[in-house]
A = this chain, B = another copy of it.
Amino acid sequence: MKPSIPKGTRDFSPVEMSKRNYIFNTIREVYSLYGFEQIETPAMENLSTLMGKYGEEGDKLLFKIQNSGDYFRGISDEELLSRDALHLAGRFCEKGLRYDLTVPFARYVVMHRDDLTLPFRRYQIQPVWRADRPQRGRYREFYQCDADIVGSDSLLNEVELMQIVDTVFTRLGVRVCIKINNRKILTGIAEMIGQAEKIVDITVAIDKLDKIGLDGVNAELEAAGLPADAIESLQPIIGLNGTNSEKLQTIRTLLNGSTIGLKGIEETEFILNTLEGLSLKNQVETDLTLARGLNYYTGAIFEVKALDVEMGSITGGGRYDNLTGIFGMPGLSGVGISFGADRIYDVLNQLDLYPASALTRPQVLFVNFGNAEVQYLLPVVARLRHNGVRAELYPDAAKMKRQMSYANARQIPYVVLAGETEMQQGMVTLKNMNTGEQTLVDKDTFTL
């Protein structure tokens, strides 16, 4: 009898919603200033659209929706008794819940290709669903806030995405470090040391330098099967430090001769140099250990870390080629970014960064002393609302104490009272709930 919700899902209370809306609205507003326009796609996509796009593991993590009506039709007894859950899911179900916003976006671009003007800049803020094992900070339903540009390979797009990140976090009051890398540099490095297939192992190992030290990293590289001379060549990369241009200089030396590697350096330099002229509020840092979406991104890769809170990446993105190729529309390059709303929410909570104006609770409660008083107050409530004040009239003529504790529980900052005395004078009593101060004010003119 006690109702519950599926594990890994959440209800959001009014206070949580105000805070979440503050984050979403900030992101939305900045996207919009940069010329991105919003789209929405259905929660359900055909499984044929989703399957095979997120690897074998991803196929299992898709929430599948059972067909309506007789979903057994056309399935033989033998097939049924095989109890092959994954195979039969494809027979029982034609639809699934979207797993991210990227594949639906690719599907959207292909389906609406004739109506779109390229380059197409869209943003999308919607929930996604994954049948992951729920754990602290990982949910089965969560929002993504994506912006992508398809149909342009100009690096100005990367520059603008970095400006967007900088603006959003400046507006939210969070100090961040924007880390950038480039898949082409990583490819170049792996090529130059003759270990093209070991990119992931290499970046994962280098990423642990802070934790396990240089010897640890080298041991890990050896364990991953890298020959001694390859590990030797990697030493300048592992200990890479200094300013962005010092780092790029070191990498350039190693990559001399790798066309793709040098292209990656050139791209990174263009982005960094252009950003220099735009005086961002936050630091942008070259970081070769960024390896997110490595089998996906083809150029720039970015990730954002909060400086004042211990927390994983709170925003990320990169350049991908051929996003729409999977749906038969090849040759379209894209670059995108995704803000992690849930983690940003946690960061703002930990740093207590929500402005008072983010909370949209009522500003004033009108106390209800009975019908005569209510009829006197109703036009006053209406006037305030008309002037944009969030106002509430307590609906029942309950005891004063109950109405005051209601105002306190909801943290409503002002209360208005009107009894016989006020009514005879055309006044109301305005009480400040924080200071306790009471003022007699004209009912037709007072404001908050």
List residues of chain A with CB under 8 Å of any chain B CB: 1-6, 9-14, 17-18, 21, 32-35, 37-46, 48-49, 60-61, 63-66, 68-72, 77, 80-81, 83, 85, 89, 92-95, 97, 107-108, 110-112, 115, 117, 119, 121-122, 127, 129, 131, 140-141, 149, 152-154, 156-157, 159-160, 163, 167, 274, 277-278, 327-328, 360-362, 365, 368, 374-375, 378-379, 382, 385, 388-393, 395-396, 405-406, 409-410
Q: Could you tell me the distance between the alpha carbons of A66 and B92 in the complex, rounded to whole angstroms?
A: 9
Q: Could you tell me the distance between the alpha carbons of A75 and B301 in the complex, rounded to whole angstroms?
A: 47
Given contacts A11-B42, A65-B63, contact A385 B34 (CB under 8 A): yes
Q: How far is the CB of A273 from chain B (nearest CB, A)?
A: 9
A277 adjacent to B379 (CB under 8 Å): yes
| Of the residues B70, B382, B405, contact of A85 by C-beta under 8 Å | B70
A68 adjacent to B60 (CB under 8 Å): yes
B129 adjacent to A43 (CB under 8 Å): yes
B274 adjacent to A375 (CB under 8 Å): yes
| Of the residues B64, B157, B378, B406, contact of A66 by C-beta under 8 Å | B64
Tallying the copies of this chain within the complex gives 2
Q: Could you tell me the distance between the alpha carbons of A385 and B34 in the complex, rounded to whole angstroms?
A: 7
Given contacts A160-B393, A375-B274, contact A39 B12 (CB under 8 A): yes
Given contacts A10-B42, A328-B2, contact A85 B72 (CB under 8 A): yes
Q: Could you tell me the distance between the alpha carbons of A167 and B387 in the complex, rounded to whole angstroms?
A: 13
Q: How far is the CB of A23 from chain B (nearest CB, A)?
A: 14
Q: How far is the CB of A246 from chain B (nearest CB, A)?
A: 24
Q: How far is the CB of A305 from chain B (nearest CB, A)?
A: 24
Q: How far is the CB of A396 from chain B (nearest CB, A)?
A: 5
B129 adjacent to A11 (CB under 8 Å): no
30 contacts between A and B (CB under 8 A): A3-B49, A3-B111, A4-B46, A5-B41, A6-B46, A6-B95, A12-B39, A12-B40, A13-B39, A32-B390, A33-B385, A33-B390, A34-B392, A37-B360, A42-B141, A43-B129, A63-B68, A65-B66, A66-B92, A70-B85, A71-B89, A77-B81, A80-B81, A81-B81, A119-B396, A121-B392, A154-B395, A160-B393, A160-B395, A278-B378
Q: Can you name the residue of chain B whose Cβ is closest to the Cβ of A61?
A: B68
Q: How far is the CB of A142 from chain B (nearest CB, A)?
A: 10
A37 adjacent to B11 (CB under 8 Å): no
Q: Could you tell me the distance between the alpha carbons of A12 and B112 in the complex, rounded to whole angstroms?
A: 11
| Of the residues B46, B153, B379, contact of A5 by C-beta under 8 Å | B46
Q: How far is the CB of A358 from chain B (nearest CB, A)?
A: 13
B66 adjacent to A93 (CB under 8 Å): yes
Cβ contacts under 8 Å, A156 to chain B: 368, 374, 393, 395
B92 adjacent to A9 (CB under 8 Å): no
Cβ contacts under 8 Å, A60 to chain B: 68
Other than the known A9-B42, A70-B83, what 9 A-B pairs have Cβ atoms closer than 8 Å?
Answer: A3-B46, A9-B44, A14-B38, A17-B40, A43-B127, A44-B129, A60-B68, A72-B85, A274-B378
Cβ contacts under 8 Å, A45 to chain B: 5-6
| Of the residues B3, B389, B391, contact of A327 by C-beta under 8 Å | B3
| Of the residues B64, B70, B80, B368, contact of A65 by C-beta under 8 Å | B64
Q: Could you tell me the distance between the alpha carbons of A70 and B117 in the complex, rounded to whole angstroms?
A: 45
| Of the residues B327, B361, B396, contact of A154 by C-beta under 8 Å | B396
B72 adjacent to A141 (CB under 8 Å): no
Cβ contacts under 8 Å, A3 to chain B: 46, 48-49, 107, 110-111, 327
5 nearest CB pairs, A to B: A35-B392, A14-B37, A9-B42, A154-B395, A117-B409
B278 adjacent to A382 (CB under 8 Å): yes
